[in-house]
């Protein structure tokens, strides 16, 4: 019969061996993040930005084709209760979109004019900095995208975003989607969502839905790093505002006044 010492020694070695072997096997199985392809492989960009010609947009203040195209294409639910509503692109009165424009003598018509607002895809995005799971991340082409598989619904990003561009799904959104487009996923209860600049379209060489839907050409989408692009031309030709630029978030949605 073996003694207690030998028995303990052998059993300890067997346990350690089994645990170590499993660790090693798990390590070999793990996906190497460096093996993933470079981001934006298909689009090969750059620095995406959106220029909104506010003057042109306000010529038809009732038009909401960009909003409708976005909501339809991304299965954005329509929830009337504004505590639960989900927004990707929407309209905000000028003085609320630009609270730092403190000129009290601004024309009343402009003060209440409906201005398009959406995620600004900041160069210095506070939502990305606070996200504890890296569900929100900034792609090399400047788009602030979300990996909803990783979102735990903590809503830190909603607190961090100074533009209110993020919405939380307080309930299952599916019953509130007028027409589900099977080409795009819906979201589920408990995740945050926002505008993605239509990454899935950009990566296939198509313009974002809102810019493509605008009949007046008031929404111009393009590459800021390209000196000859349409967005750069527009920004040279007119004076443009950025929302709450003083906060240092470096928003990449520009408003031509």
Name the residues that contact other proteins, by CB under 8 A.
Answer: 1-5, 7, 31, 36-43, 75, 137, 139, 141, 145, 147-149, 172, 174-175, 177, 179-188, 199-200, 203-204
CA 80, 153, 155, 145 torsion-angle sign: negative
* Residue whose CB is less far from other proteins, 83 or 149: 149
Question: For 142-165, b where at least 16 C-beta lie within 10 A, e where not — what string?
Answer: bbbbbeeeebeebebbbebbebeb
Sequence length of the chain is 257
Q: Closest approach of Cβ 3 to other proteins, in Å?
A: 3
Which lies closer to other proteins via its Cβ, residue 201 or residue 238?
A: 201
Nearer CB in complex with other proteins: 27/104: 27
Nearest-approach distance from CB 234 to other proteins, in angstroms: 26
The least CB distance from residue 25 to other proteins, in Å, is 14
Q: What is the DSSP letter of 81?
A: S
- Of 116, 130, 206, 203, nearest in space to 165 by CA: 116
Contacts of 228 (CB under 8 A, 6+ apart): none
Q: Is the Cβ of residue 28 or residue 31 nearer to other proteins in the bound state?
A: 31
β-pairing verdict for 219-223 and 240-241: unpaired
Distance in angstroms (rounded) separating the CA atoms of residues 169 and 191? 6
CA atoms within 13 A on the CB side of 151: 25
Closest CB 214 distance from other proteins, rounded Å: 25
The nearest distance, CB 182 to other proteins, in angstroms, is: 4
d(CA 171, CA 26) in angstroms, rounded, equals 37
Instruction: Select 48 or 94, whichever has its Cβ closest to other proteins.
Output: 48
- Closest approach, Cβ 41 to other proteins, in A, equals 5
For other proteins, give the closer residue by CB, 107 or 184: 184
SS3 at position 144: strand
Based on CB atoms, which residue is closest to other proteins, 30 or 246?
30
Residue 124 neighbours by CB distance under 10 Å: 12
CA dihedral (132, 138, 144, 150) positive or negative: negative
DSSP, collapsed to helix, strand or coil, labels residue 255 as: strand
Nearest approach, Cβ of 109 to other proteins (angstroms)? Answer: 40
């Amino acid at each position: 019969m073996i003694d207690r010492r030998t028995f303990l020694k052998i059993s300890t070695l067997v346990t350690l061996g089994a645990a170590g072997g499993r660790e090693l096997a798990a390590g070999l199985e793990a996906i190497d993040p460096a093996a993933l392809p470079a981001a934006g492989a298909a689009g090969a960009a750059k620095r995406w930005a959106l220029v909104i010609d506010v003057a042109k947009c306000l010529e038809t203040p009732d038009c909401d084709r960009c909003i409708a195209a976005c909501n339809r294409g991304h299965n954005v639910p329509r929830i009337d209760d504004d505590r639960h509503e989900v927004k990707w692109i929407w309209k905000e009165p000028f003085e609320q979109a630009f609270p730092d424009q403190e000129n009290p003598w601004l024309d009343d018509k402009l003060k209440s004019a409906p201005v398009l607002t959406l995620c600004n895809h900041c160069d210095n995005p506070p939502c990305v900095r606070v996200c504890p799971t890296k569900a929100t991340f900034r792609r090399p082409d400047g788009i602030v995208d979300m990996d909803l598989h990783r979102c735990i619904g903590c809503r830190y990003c909603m607190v961090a975003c100074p533009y209110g561009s993020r919405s939380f799904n307080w309930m299952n959104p599916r019953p509130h989607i007028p027409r589900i487009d099977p080409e795009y996923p819906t979201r589920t209860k408990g995740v945050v969502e926002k505008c993605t600049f239509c990454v899935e379209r950009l990566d296939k060489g198509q313009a974002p839905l809102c810019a493509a839907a605008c009949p007046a050409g008031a929404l111009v989408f393009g590459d800021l790093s390209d000196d000859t692009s349409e967005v750069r031309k527009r920004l040279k030709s007119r004076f443009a505002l950025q929302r709450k630029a003083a906060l240092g978030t470096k928003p990449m949605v520009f408003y031509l006044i």
